[in-house]
Amino acid sequence: MRVRVGRIDELPTDRCVAVAGGRAVVVRLGDTPLAFENRCLHQASPLAGGRVDGGVLICPLHFWRYRLPTGRVVGSERTLTAYPVTVEGGEVVVEIPDDPGDRPIRDVLLDHARTWSREEGT
């Protein structure tokens, strides 16, 4: 699903904002727009509203920190799911995967277990 999220010069540089009904967040790092799944790797809380400071996105709930532009957790190998972003005529377009719909809870839990880290998870 391609989502137009607005003009590049209107994207904030100091926080991330939800787009596509909250499925993704976008932020601008300099002149580069970035998009990630709106889901913190700590406890799956939304990242929307998270502050961006010094090239680091900070989750608003427990302040996990993600380096930009990669989305990699500071001090870890884990990385946010990034979505492709293009700028077309000054407008930012994010490519978001199709909604998985009603996934069985078993699949959701297995995905979580596969990405969970004993050192980082709580």
Q: Which positions lie near ligand FES, rule CB under 6 A?
A: 40, 42-43, 45, 59, 61-64
Name the residue nearer to ligand FES (CB basis): 42 or 67.
42
User: Which of 92, 75, 89 lies closest to 29, judged by CA?
Assistant: 92
Name the residue nearer to ligand FES (CB basis): 61 or 96.
61
With helix as H, strand as E and coil as C, how does the chain read?
CEEEEEEHHHCCCCECEEEHHHCEEEEEECCEEEEEECCCCCCCCCCCCCEEECCEEECCCCCCEEECCCCEECCCCCECCECCEEEECCEEEEECCCCCCCCCHHHHHHHHHHHCCCCCCC
Name the residue nearer to ligand FES (CB basis): 47 or 85.
47
| Beta-bridge partner residues of 4 | 93
Q: Closest distance between ligand FES and the C-beta of residue 69, in Å? A: 19
Q: Closest distance between ligand FES and the C-beta of residue 11, in Å? A: 22
Q: Closest distance between ligand FES and the C-beta of residue 12, in Å? A: 19
Q: Closest distance between ligand FES and the C-beta of residue 82, in Å? A: 17
Name the residue nearer to ligand FES (CB basis): 48 or 96.
48
